[in-house]
Amino acid sequence: MKPDVRTIPANWWLRRSPPWWLRRRPYFLFMVREFTSVFVGAYVVIFLMMIRRLNEGQAAYEAFLASLQSPLAIVFHMVALAFAVFHTVTWFHLTPKAMAVRIGEERVKPALIIAPNYAAWAVISAIVAWFLLG
Amino acid sequence: MAKSNEPIWWFLFSAGGVVAALLVPIHILLIGIAWPLGVLPADALEFSRMQALLAHPLTRLYCFVLISLPLFHWAHRFRFTLADLGLHGAAMLIAVLCYGAAIAGTIVAALTLWG
């Protein structure tokens, strides 16, 4: 049976209850975490485009570099960086859950498993910067 | 998606998550923000320098890993995100489109780097 259209108020859209992921802060942060993957994916596609322009020759590559300097591109990269860093931090903090390390009967404190990730991140970032700029 | 395929997707998701966590922020910061804002030397991304860098086989392998694995990471996460947002009905179609996009991106990356 079809619903009677006359009984549906015109502003039904506004009167719907909010979706589950807007109802509680942890649910919202979960959704933000899941959405980091969209920005990470979008960025590697841009990176692939950069390599393609580089293969096409100097003119194509320099046009790509010019497009990186547009305000819109800079704002996009700032937003993407925020999401990417959120991914990094949430990913690191999952490691003690993914691998529960034990020494004898004692379970190694989560902080001790998380900390080396940050050290590795710093070292690897420095190496990438050194290769790119060095 | 058959149950037996899941460990492969999960492994690619997981490996992509590690690559994205460790490498993507510094790339965005240097190429997408610091260089366009003029924080780095103007010739830091200069054509002949970048060409020389990319000529090295290890750089190509690095670029391949940096592009491909995070695409699979995205595919796996996004597939379940869409289901969480209520698109349960199209689960199979979504899985095919997401993993298909990651496979297509991987092929384009391979052809770009070694084709």
What chain A residue is nearest to B19 in terms of C-alpha separation? A88
* Structure tokens given for A80: 């993407």
Residue A60 CA to its chain's centroid (Å): 28
> What are the CA-CA distances from residue A14 to residues A9, A10, B16 (Å)?
10, 9, 39
Tell me what the mean pLDDT of segment A74-85 comes to: 98
Q: What is the pLDDT of residue A5?
A: 63
CB contact under 8 A, B44 and A65: no
Q: Can you tell me the distance from the alpha carbon of B100 to that of B88, in angstroms, rounded to the nearest whole number?
A: 19
Answer yes or no: is A127 within a domain: no
Q: How confident is the model at residue B79 (pLDDT cuts 50, 70, 90)?
A: very high
Answer yes or no: is A99 within a domain: no
Domain of A45 in residue numbering reads as: 5-70
> What are the CA-CA distances from residue B50 to residues A62, A133, B58, B105, B107 (Å)?
12, 10, 14, 22, 22
Q: Can you tell me the distance from the alpha carbon of B62 to that of B60, in angstroms, rounded to the nearest whole number?
A: 5
B96 at A interface, C-beta within 8 A: no
- Residue B18 host element (H or E): helix B6-27
Tell me what the mean pLDDT of segment B40-49 comes to: 93
* Structure tokens given for B87: 């698109």
Q: What is the pLDDT of residue A3?
A: 62
> Positive or negative CA dihedral for B101, B103, B109, B111?
negative
- The structural domains of chain B, with segments of one domain joined by +, span 11-114
* Structure tokens given for A134: 């060095």
Q: How many CB atoms lie within 10 A of CB B34?
A: 17
CB contact under 8 A, A46 and B45: no
Tell me what the mean pLDDT of segment B63-72 comes to: 98
What chain B residue is nearest to A45 in terms of C-alpha separation? B67
Answer yes or no: is A42 within a domain: yes
Q: What is the pLDDT of residue B3?
A: 58
Q: Per residue in A2-36, pLDDT tens?
A: 666 667 777 766 677 788 888 888 899 999 999 99
What chain A residue is nearest to B32 in terms of C-alpha separation? A77
Answer yes or no: is A45 within a domain: yes
Alpha helices by DSSP H, listed for A16-70, are: 25-56, 58-68
Q: Can you tell me the distance from the alpha carbon of B47 to that of A83, in angstroms, rounded to the nearest whole number?
A: 29
Give the burial string for B84-114 (b: 16+ CB within 10 Å, else e).
Answer: eeeeeeeeeebbeebbebbeebbebbeebbe
B113 at A interface, C-beta within 8 A: yes
Answer yes or no: is A24 within a domain: yes
Tell me what the mean pLDDT of segment A75-90 comes to: 97
Radius of gyration of chain A (CA): 23
CB contact under 8 A, B31 and A38: no
Question: CATH 1.10.10.10: does it fit domain B11-114?
Answer: no
Q: Per residue in B4-44, pLDDT tens?
A: 678 899 999 999 999 999 999 999 999 999 999 999 998 99
Q: Can you tell me the distance from the alpha carbon of A27 to that of B29, in angstroms, rounded to the nearest whole number?
A: 28
Q: What is the pLDDT of residue A125?
A: 97
Q: Answer left, alpha or beta for residue A130, where phi above 0 means left and psi between -120 and 50 means alpha.
A: alpha
Answer yes or no: is A81 within a domain: no
**Does the structure show a pLDDT above 60 at B66?**
yes
The region of weakest confidence among A42-56, A107-121, B28-42 is A107-121
Answer yes or no: is A46 within a domain: yes
Which residues of B fall within a CB distance of 8 Å from A129? 26, 30
Model pTM score: 0.89
Q: DSSP code of B29?
A: I
Which residues of B fall within a CB distance of 8 Å from A44? 24, 66-67, 70-71, 105
- Residue A102 host element (H or E): strand A102-103
B87 at A interface, C-beta within 8 A: no
Tell me what the mean pLDDT of segment A91-101 comes to: 84
Tell me what the mean pLDDT of segment B71-81 comes to: 95
* Count of domains for chain A: 1
CB contact under 8 A, B30 and A129: yes
